Structure 1
Amino acid sequence: MTGPVVKTGDLFVFYGLLKQGATGMPADLPLETSGRFLGPCRFRGRLLDLGGFPGVVDGEDLCHGVRYELADVSIIGAMDEFEDVTDDPATSLYLRKQIPLLGDDGAATGEQAWIYWYNQPTEGFEHIADGNWPLGKGRTRK
């Protein structure tokens, strides 16, 4: 996968299967040793249930996420592979992009974070109105 360069110390926001303690988190992705979880955050989007895993698309809901600080950039290839990020935006399940992080009140914190943004048609998928994917709702995708 080519694209924007991720650097050591960059933040990610995880909102689904990559959240710490989430059911369906890939066992072979060493998040605990490749960075550190920093706690909750919010961001704007529209959270969807894609059938055992979530996706977020453009929207104005105040969604829940978890901040993660990357320490080892060598994990990015495995993260992108798990999220089905490809070099072709037309077929990529998710795109990795940067968004502003928000506090519980919806105000900008001044932080930017990478996020895996859903990139396929959304018709027929349930909208999760509270913007919060439950830790126990996931299933392993791969």
Structure 2
Amino acid sequence: MTGEPVKSGDLFVFYGLLKQGAVGMPADLPLESSGTFLGPCRFRGRLLDLDGFPGVVAGDTLCHGLRYRLADASLIGAMDAFEDVTDDPAASLYVRKKIPLLDDHTAPTGEQAWIYWYNQPAESFVEIADGNWPLDAGRARKNG
């Protein structure tokens, strides 16, 4: 996780359970009222199926995401809690970091967005070859 704080107005890229309309989206996370879903984007990584929810690790696949502009930075604590981001990066399921966004033709858009990056061993998980987590593929993820 970067030392940079998240501010109101920052962009996020959601690629799994936080995508608008995704099965498994946490009902207690008020994304609709705390920001704006802006539409699709692309980014580089390897999208993995972590047994009913996705994770992204370093890679070169052109992955699909959804841009989101956070209007209320006070939501970041609940978002980090859902993604199991802790003060101990080694123990965190995900870390929050910034990445460059791309368009459908792999050209940089000039935008940087926060993303929840999978932060645990990933060797045993299956890669989603097209880099696109289906909206109906998720299940509610239990923390802890």
User: Do both proteins adopt the same fold according to a TM-score greater than 0.5, normalized to the shorter chain?
Assistant: yes
Contact 1:15 / 1:132 at 8 angstroms: preserved in 2?
yes
Q: Is 2:116 aligned against 1:116?
A: yes
Distance, in Å, in 2 between the alignment partners of 1:78 and 1:2 is 18
Q: Which runs of 4+ in 1 moved over 6 A?
A: none
Q: Is 2:123 aligned against 1:139?
A: no
Q: Paired residue for 1:68?
A: 68
Distance, in Å, in 2 between the alignment partners of 1:104 and 1:140 is 29
Distance, in Å, in 2 between the alignment partners of 1:4 and 1:78 is 17
Distance, in Å, in 1 between the alignment partners of 2:119 and 2:66 is 21
1:117 is matched by which residue type in structure 2? W
Aligned Cα root-mean-square deviation (Å)? 1.2
Structure 2, unmatched stretches of 5+, are none
Partner SS for 1:74: helix
Structure 1, unmatched stretches of 5+, are none
Contact 1:2 / 1:87 at 8 angstroms: preserved in 2?
no
Alignment TM-score, normalising by the size of structure 1: 0.98
The offset of 1:4, in angstroms, is: 2.5
Q: Paired residue for 2:18?
A: 18
Write out per-residue CA displacement over residues 55-89 of structure 1, whole angstroms, 9 at most, x where no aligned residue: 00000000000000000001000000000000111
Distance, in Å, in 2 between the alignment partners of 1:13 and 1:76 is 14
Write out per-residue CA displacement over residues 93-128 of structure 1, whole angstroms, 9 at most, x where no aligned residue: 000000000000011000000000000001210000
1:35 is matched by which residue type in structure 2? G
Identical counterparts, % of pairs = 80
Distance, in Å, in 1 between the alignment partners of 2:136 and 2:97 is 26
Contact 2:48 / 2:128 at 8 angstroms: preserved in 1?
yes
Distance, in Å, in 2 between the alignment partners of 1:24 and 1:101 is 25
Write out per-residue CA displacement over residues 32-62 of structure 1, whole angstroms, 9 at most, x where no aligned residue: 0000000000000000000000000000000
